[in-house]
Structure 1
Amino acid sequence: MKIKKQESRFLIILDILMQLAVILSLAWFVVYIFGAKTFMVGQSMSPQIEQGEAVLINKAAYTFLKPKRYDLIAFQNTDGRVCIRRVIGLPGESVNIREGSVYIDGEVPDKFFEASSGGLAADEIKLASNEYFVLGDNRVGSEDSRISTIGNVTEDMIIGNVWIRVLPVKRIGFIK
């Protein structure tokens, strides 16, 4: 009787371990296929994402949907580097930065954004049907659509939506 009880406990533990292995394998598969990990380079997104922090990118986010204003996107710039910036201007819109304010189609958006310099957007920029205007949250120290090395981001440059910080451990969490 005692042996059957031990066998029963062993089978229950084995069953739990098998279920955990399947769940972890599925989670790894989903993240591997639909996600990517990258590290923040530079201070463009400070304080939201700091230099050296690791984030996960949802590569499937824009399979059927388009990026929305204020989304944090990861894209590959012209020199092959992965960048993370916030979408400000959408396809077909006009973007202009003057007197420290960002204007979309001549109006200040509902979330007010200041910009120390207009750069390329000092003169109004009309976005094509596949272009996005992006800014870093740290406007003073950001390489973004205001400079020629980044410029407007096209749909084919976008890797996905940045959604969770995974390193450092003390700052793990979803990103807004």
Structure 2
Amino acid sequence: MSESLPQSETKKANQKQENPIVEIVKTVVMAVVLSFGIRTFVAEARYIPSSSMEPTLQINDRLIIEKMTYRFREPQRGEIIVFDATEAIEQLGWNGAFIKRVIGLPGDEVIVRDGDVMVNGQILKESYIQEAPKYDFGPVVVPDNSYLVLGDNRNNSSDSHVWGYVPDENIIGRATVRFWPFHRLGGIDENSAYADTLIESPQ
């Protein structure tokens, strides 16, 4: 003689077998939450819409922007950063995110003159730029908690020599990996990036 479950236990057993649609919804919601968390706190993908960072970065390059490093240390000279438009940029009618190379750190004196970029009286040896800058700029001293950034395509870049500095609170993260196009897949060369061996005193 078979025994049947009490009605209350049968009801509990049925409750455990949730509707497949509910399970799908839960899975999708969890995936969205995880994706949002990763994009907000860890890393996100971005693409290059302009030529301002050529030849290092080409139009339509796809990059991974990691966001963890700057939670533990400040940006370093030579790193390529992505940042939200500053107030000065927005006043020029632009918005969204920008990508440039860090040239001046807080307290640095920066001068652009005669085709050279000088930081604290020393000329940067920049093998990665499209061509030498054809404009003069400075001298300026980078304010606290801010950074002076320039595009590698110096003469076709709206950057700090046009609109000023990037406050650290505007920085989204650091460009680390190019994942598209596949034939240029890999890490982004930051020239390690301005080690003392890459800086020489003006003659």
Does the alignment pair 1:83 with 2:98? Answer: yes
Normalised to the residue count of structure 1, the TM-score between the two structures is: 0.74
Three-state SS of the structure 1 residue aligned to 2:70 is coil
Distance 1:49 1:111 in 2: 15
Normalised to the residue count of structure 2, the TM-score between the two structures is: 0.65
Cα deviation digits, residues 102-144 of structure 1 (max 9, x gap) = 11112213547732213xxx23111111111111111121111
Distance 1:40 1:142 in 2: 13
How is 1:27-106 mapped onto 2 (pairs within 5 angstroms)?
32=39, 33-78=41-86, 79=90, 80-106=95-121
Shift of 1:31: 5.1
The residue number in structure 1 matching 2:183 is 170
Does the alignment pair 1:108 with 2:123? Answer: yes
Q: Output the amino acid matched with 1:58.
A: E
Q: Output the amino acid matched with 2:57.
A: I
Question: Contact conserved, 2:116 with 2:124, CA < 8 A, in 1?
Answer: no
The residue number in structure 2 matching 1:19 is none
Does the alignment pair 1:117 with 2:132? Answer: no
Percent sequence identity is 32
Question: Contact conserved, 1:40 with 1:83, CA < 8 A, in 2?
Answer: no
Distance 2:167 2:182 in 1: 33
Q: Output the amino acid matched with 2:173.
A: G
Three-state SS of the structure 1 residue aligned to 2:49 is coil
The residue number in structure 2 matching 1:11 is none
Does the alignment pair 1:156 with 2:169? Answer: yes
Distance 1:51 1:110 in 2: 25
Name the larger-Rg structure: 2
Q: Output the amino acid matched with 1:76.
A: D
Q: Output the amino acid matched with 2:158.
A: E
Distance 1:153 1:115 in 2: 20
Cα deviation digits, residues 125-167 of structure 1 (max 9, x gap) = 111111111111111211111112xx21110111111001122
Q: Which moved more, 1:166-175 or 1:125-134?
A: 166-175
Shift of 1:36: 1.1
Three-state SS of the structure 1 residue aligned to 2:160 is coil
Cα RMSD between the aligned structures?
Answer: 2.1
Structure 1 pair 110/100, CA: closer, same or farther in 2 (3 Å)? closer
Question: Structure 1: which 5+ residue stretches go unaligned?
Answer: 1-24
Cα deviation digits, residues 17-56 of structure 1 (max 9, x gap) = xxxxxxxx9xx86854400111112101112111111111
Structure 1 pair 31/169, CA: closer, same or farther in 2 (3 Å)? farther
Question: Contact conserved, 1:38 with 1:82, CA < 8 A, in 2?
Answer: no
